[in-house]
Structures are given as C-alpha cells and as structure tokens.
Amino acid sequence: MLRWMDLRFTQHAKDVIAERKIEVKWVERVLLAPQLVEDADDGLRHFFARILEREGRVLRVVVDPARDAWWVVTAFLDRRMKDRLP
C-alpha cells in the first residue's frame, strides 16, 4: 500500500512536471485511483488516468516501487493512451 510519506520525486520527474505544467495533485490522483496499471520489464510501474482539467488527456506516471520509497521517475500526458482508457 502506498503511503504518501514514502512518495518521492527524482530530479528528472521534478523537472518534467514543472516543464509540462503537470500539477503534483494530478500525479497523486493518478497513483491513488489509476484507470490502468502496467508493470514494465524493467521493473518500473506505469499508472494511467484521465485528467479532466487537461481536456481528459491521459496522464502517465512512472514509478520505481522497488526502492526504499515509491520514486516517481517521470510523468507525461500520453497521446498513445487516449483510445485505451474509458
């Protein structure tokens, strides 16, 4: 179970979240209530959910759950997922 005190952001994640104007509350929302979760071969976990504040676009949040805390590696609005989520 994810505990918010264990959520951390890599420097890359901090940079791209700021550059892409992604709000941290959206990242938290996707992690709390994902519409889809996929585990990648590299051990990273990808969470997806639509963000109504961004015209329903899909936000992908990539997390490394294997470290001492849940580290957000990156986040971006994923055009390729727009037809895969309800």
Is residue 86 assigned to a domain? no
pLDDT at 82: 85
Task: Domain of residue 14: give its range.
Answer: 4-81
For the chain, the domain total comes to 1
Write out pLDDT tens, residues 14-61.
999 999 999 999 999 999 999 999 999 999 999 999 999 999 999 999
Average pLDDT of the segment spanning 2-18: 85
Helix (H, G, I), strand (E, B) or coil at 35: coil
Q: Residue 76 is part of a domain; what is its CATH number?
A: 3.30.2310
pTM value > 0.85 = yes
Dist. CA 71–CA 30, nearest whole Å: 14
Dist. CA 81–CA 8, nearest whole Å: 25
pLDDT at 5: 56
